[in-house]
Amino acid sequence: EAGVAQSPRYKIIEKRQSVAFWCNPISGHATLYWYQQILGQGPKLLIQFQNNGVVDDSQLPKDRFSAERLKGVDSTLKIQPAKLEDSAVYLCASSLIQGGTDTQYFGPGTRLTVL
């Protein structure tokens, strides 16, 4: 079974530029998550989708971050405009069960460097 796929793996941009990350979850997984992991810290949830609806985006900086999950499969996370403090690894995860609690499986992440 294929795991969670993410692209690109690495991205370097100048501050105030825009960037987008893509995630394809494990086939059949209803729930998709985006996490931000700053160096030396544990991941922090940015947004959670269940199918194509948003379940939790309370920690998403909505003035510059946006995410969508059209058709309930792939998802895109965008930052516009980027700031220096956005330098981090962006992890996508997916889980099978709708509601309740289920194990999350993570992708390899996208390492973003903002100069």
Partner 1 sequence: AQKVTQAQTEISVVEKEDVTLDCVYETRDTTYYLFWYKQPPSGELVFLIRRNSFDEQNEISGRYSWNFQKSTSSFNFTITASQVVDSAVYFCALSFYGNNRLAFGKGNQVVVIP
Task: Name residues whose C-beta falls within 8 Å of residue 108's C-beta, 6 or more positions apart in sequence.
Answer: 6, 9
The residues pairing with 22 across neighbouring beta strands, listed in sequence order, are 7, 76
Write the interaction track for partner 1 spanning residues 45-84; mark x where CB under 8 A is met and - where it is not: x--x-------x----------------------------
Ramachandran class of 16: left when φ > 0, alpha when ψ lies in -120 to 50, beta otherwise: left
Q: Judged by CB, which is closer to partner 1: 81, or 105? A: 105
The CA distance from 29 to 4, in Å, is: 10
Check binding of 100 to partner 1 (CB under 8 A): yes
Pick from 21, 33, 34, 65: which binds partner 1 (CB under 8 A)?
A: 33
Pick from 23, 77, 93, 114: which binds partner 1 (CB under 8 A)?
A: 93
Pick from 2, 14, 42, 53: which binds partner 1 (CB under 8 A)?
A: 42
- Going by C-alpha positions, the residue among 40, 78, 75 that lies closest to residue 55 is 75
Check binding of 30 to partner 1 (CB under 8 A): no
Provide, rounded to whole angstroms, the least separation between the CB of residue 22 and partner 1: 16
In Å, what is the CA distance from 33 to each residue of 15, 21, 69, 114? 25, 13, 10, 22
Q: Which residues bind partner 1 (CB under 8 A)?
A: 31, 33, 40-45, 48, 56, 89, 91, 93, 95, 99-109, 111
